[in-house]
A and B are shown apart, each in its own frame.
Chain A
Amino acid sequence: MDQLFDVSLFASALRMLTPILLAALGGAICARVGLFNVGLEGLMLIGAFSAIVGNYLTGSIALSLLFAIGCTLAFSLLFAFMSIQLQANVIVVGIALNFLALGLTTFSLRAIFDVKGAYYDKNMVGLPKLNIPVIEDIPWLGGVLSGHSVLVYASILIVAALHYYLFRTVSGFRLLAAGENPTAARSLGIKVTRIQYGAVLLCGVLCGLAGAQLSLGNVTMFTEGMTAGRGFIALVATMLGQSNPLGVAGASLLFGFMESLSIRLQGFAMPTHFTLMVPYVVTILAMLFFKDKGYMQEARKSSGSSR
């Protein structure tokens, strides 16, 4: 067992946690304004791919991050337009965007790199790793906490910032109001539509970063559909964390740990099929503890009288 739960397992949990956490925070902010964003998976995939493209085109990490954010922003704008402006069914739009993301990345992989399946170039630079002074010298803890990509640390800061924003600022308060009772918020002159757009775009930025961590942080390559359901796991993390940044972080931590455990177990003479299943099984088990709103409430919301 000692070999199983060693330093590198926890260190890798932190790496695995980051993409899920970032996307889940994006999902949380969307949920807070009343939009259930099923498109996290697609947004993340776009982020992962465009980060690689940015890297290939510019060779600069900063620029490739910016490029990834730009692409996911454009994509989330599409989501916002369809679901807020055109009032299309959010879930259908989310599913459609996932399809589009998969189609676009596969096509572009072919069109830009002329490869199928995966793109890898040993000249590509991954996200820089940060060694934190003092902490890196602490035994065990240093190994776990130090030496990760910037985005790992950034994601922790983002959790705190988002928590502060939502529960301590005027603007965050209004965002919560817009989600809780849009009609009332609108009657008070709160620009609900603008807030919803803002939330979806912020979600885009976060998913862009999540994707970048996936393709430039954890590895330095892109494979077709490399998000592998992480967007949906992030959605569950959003739900489990009740769209509260700290709660979402907790839920993501669980899923990140399970993912790194699943990778680790492969070294233990277990069929990979079962180890690969672990994150999904755990996610489903975790859902046991989260009661969905239930169809009654859902129906009340959508069929409620206009009186």
Chain B
Amino acid sequence: MDKLGNWIKPLLQPLLALAAGLAVGAVAILIVGGSVTETYAEMWKGAFGNFYFITNTLARATPIILIGLGVALAFRAGFFNMGSEGQMVLGALSAAITAIHLPGPGWLKLIGAIVAGMLAGGIWSAFAGWLDAKYRMNLLITTLLLNYIATYFAGYIVTYPLKDTTGSAAMAQTVMLDKSAWLPKLFQGYSLHAGFLLAMLGTILLYLFMKHTVKGYEIRMLGGNPLFASYGGVQRGKLMFLSMFVSGGLAGLAGSVEVLGTQYRYLDGALTSPGYAWSGIMATLLAGSNPIGTAVAAILIAALQTGGMGMERNTDVPLEVSSIIQSVLILFVSAKLTYSFIKRKKAGAKNGPAV
């Protein structure tokens, strides 16, 4: 019974939140004069209706999962890394440039691009960590501000020096990557690409890392009580650098696989306007920084988005209902801490006076 309870308890809160999100979404649907059942049915179809839609949802989930994993790692270590967007953008740009300019066979370009993307994202993220360690700058704020700098910088690169001048369209983008450097599609004719496998692999690896390695243990302790960690010999500086680097590296990987598996070039705004980074952060919050939970939550969020598009195609309800459902989800999940707080308070009272 206890075992069963342990399995259900972490699920209970997200499920309640999901119910609340759908309920508020229903209100929004009614406000714009739609039919709740019909709209949700269309949404389901748009997300999981057939094999095409399922693969489409998973393809969208791929960068969200990777970003979510990175954010989860940082959160677990106690660092509010809000800079995924910039890290992803710089990762994507570096991946694109590497794939275009690295000489050699396709597989080398591909691997080089992925490594470059992860390095770029990781360095950008570790930079914020360095600012915190060295100058005690609030990490939450610096990572947020660095997003703007990174996106404007990437925008500049593809608007001026590396602009694709071959095509007729005056878009701010790089040239198309060589076909040999593309990430393979998993199924012929469907958008799902090998990046999804990387995301799955990353999920499992991060889960095992957090649970079964000494470094993972140290990261969790650092996030729980940094003074306890330093007392026990955990080196905050090094671990912060490591976790921020890996966190940003995962965001960079997310950007890279989008470029190598979907866009095949760096197109300004193609990664920022779908809000992958913010969806990733949402997924992490939703799952309480648990790696497997983050992956599940990321797929859920992707489904809300692809479902929302399906809904918009077939009903008069606007796509933005999805974003309402997402935000309500988060809001309810942030009350999770509450739930355990109330329990703690009761337990405290039972144990007698604290003073």
Could you mark each residue 249-292 of chain A with 1 if its beta carbon is under 8 Å from any beta carbon of chain B, else 0?
A: 00000000000000000000001011011001101100110111
Could you mark each residue 61-93 of chain A with 1 if its beta carbon is under 8 Å from any beta carbon of chain B, else 0?
A: 000000000000000001000100011110111
**A99 surroundings in chain B (CB, below 8 A):** 278, 282, 323, 326-327, 330-331
Could you mark each residue 104-126 of chain B with 1 if its beta carbon is under 8 Å from any beta carbon of chain A, else 0?
A: 00000000000000000000000
Interface stretch of the complex, out of B56-64, B144-152, B211-219: B144-152
Contact of A103 with B327 at beta-carbon distance under 8 Å, contacts A93-B334, A299-B226, A299-B227 already known:
yes
What's the Cα separation between A277 and B147 when bound, in Å? 10
Q: Is the CB of A288 within 8 A of B137?
A: yes
Output the nearest chain A residue to B344 by Cβ-Cβ distance.
A87
**A293 surroundings in chain B (CB, below 8 A):** 136
**B155 surroundings in chain A (CB, below 8 A):** 273
What's the Cα separation between A102 and B273 when bound, in Å? 13
Interface flag for B80 (CB, 8 Å): yes
**B80 surroundings in chain A (CB, below 8 A):** 91
Shortest B85–chain A CB gap in Å is 11
Q: Is the CB of B318 within 8 A of A107?
A: yes
With an 8 Å Cβ cutoff, the count of chain B residues facing the other chain is 56
Contact of A277 with B326 at beta-carbon distance under 8 Å, contacts A92-B337, A96-B285, A284-B137 already known:
no
**B336 surroundings in chain A (CB, below 8 A):** 88
Contact of A107 with B152 at beta-carbon distance under 8 Å, contacts A88-B335, A232-B145, A287-B142 already known:
no
**B31 surroundings in chain A (CB, below 8 A):** 111
For B323, give its contact among A92, A107, A277, A300 (CB under 8 Å): A107
**B327 surroundings in chain A (CB, below 8 A):** 96, 99-104
**B318 surroundings in chain A (CB, below 8 A):** 107, 110-111
Shortest B1–chain A CB gap in Å is 29
Contact of A303 with B144 at beta-carbon distance under 8 Å, contacts A103-B327, A287-B138 already known:
no
Interface flag for B185 (CB, 8 Å): no
Shortest A240–chain B CB gap in Å is 11
Interface flag for A5 (CB, 8 Å): no
Could you mark each residue 217-248 of chain A with 1 if its beta carbon is under 8 Å from any beta carbon of chain B, else 0?
A: 00000000000110011011001000000000
**A8 surroundings in chain B (CB, below 8 A):** none
Q: Is the CB of B142 within 8 A of A273?
A: no
**B152 surroundings in chain A (CB, below 8 A):** 273-274, 276-277
**A91 surroundings in chain B (CB, below 8 A):** 80, 140
Q: Is the CB of B148 within 8 A of A100?
A: no
Shortest A50–chain B CB gap in Å is 16
Could you mark each residue 320-336 of chain B with 1 if its beta carbon is under 8 Å from any beta carbon of chain A, else 0?
A: 11011011101101111
Interface flag for B190 (CB, 8 Å): no
For A89, give its contact among B282, B331, B337 (CB under 8 Å): B337
**A290 surroundings in chain B (CB, below 8 A):** 137
Shortest A205–chain B CB gap in Å is 22
Output the nearest chain A residue to B229 by Cβ-Cβ distance.
A299
Interface flag for A189 (CB, 8 Å): no
Q: Is the CB of A292 within 8 A of B281?
A: no
Interface size class of A (residues with CB under 8 A): 35 or more
**B148 surroundings in chain A (CB, below 8 A):** 228-229, 276-277, 280
Interface flag for A13 (CB, 8 Å): no
**A139 surroundings in chain B (CB, below 8 A):** none
Output the nearest chain A residue to B139 by Cβ-Cβ distance.
A292
Shortest B332–chain A CB gap in Å is 9
Output the nearest chain B residue to A83 by Cβ-Cβ distance.
B334
What's the Cα separation between A274 and B144 when bound, in Å? 17
Contact of A96 with B331 at beta-carbon distance under 8 Å, contacts A232-B144, A271-B160, A273-B153 already known:
yes
What's the Cα separation between A295 and B223 when bound, in Å? 11
Could you mark each residue 233-262 of chain B with 1 if its beta carbon is under 8 Å from any beta carbon of chain A, else 0?
A: 000100000000000000000000000000
Shortest A42–chain B CB gap in Å is 9
What's the Cα separation between A232 and B31 when bound, in Å? 32
Q: Is the CB of A100 within 8 A of B330?
A: yes
Interface flag for B314 (CB, 8 Å): no
Interface flag for A23 (CB, 8 Å): no
Output the nearest chain B residue to A87 by Cβ-Cβ distance.
B341
What's the Cα separation between A69 and B256 when bound, in Å? 43
Q: Is the CB of A106 within 8 A of B355?
A: no
**A29 surroundings in chain B (CB, below 8 A):** none
Interface-centre pick from A99, A239, A281 (highest chain B CB count, 10 A): A99
Could you mark each residue 3-43 of chain A with 1 if its beta carbon is under 8 Å from any beta carbon of chain B, else 0?
A: 00000000000000000000000000000000000100000
Q: Is the CB of A100 within 8 A of B146?
A: no
What's the Cα separation between A78 and B137 when bound, in Å? 29
Output the nearest chain B residue to A239 by Cβ-Cβ distance.
B138
Contact of A288 with B135 at beta-carbon distance under 8 Å, contacts A82-B331, A87-B338, A93-B334 already known:
yes
**A86 surroundings in chain B (CB, below 8 A):** 335, 337-338, 341
What's the Cα separation between A293 and B137 when bound, in Å? 9
A-B contact pairs, 18 of them (CB 8 A): A82-B338, A92-B334, A93-B331, A96-B334, A99-B323, A107-B318, A107-B320, A109-B320, A111-B31, A229-B144, A229-B147, A276-B148, A280-B145, A287-B141, A291-B135, A292-B136, A300-B227, A306-B355
Q: A99-B330, A291-B135 are in contact. List 6 more A-B contacts (CB 8 A).
A: A82-B331, A103-B320, A235-B141, A239-B138, A284-B131, A288-B137
6 closest A-B pairs by CB:
A103-B323, A107-B320, A273-B156, A100-B327, A86-B338, A110-B318
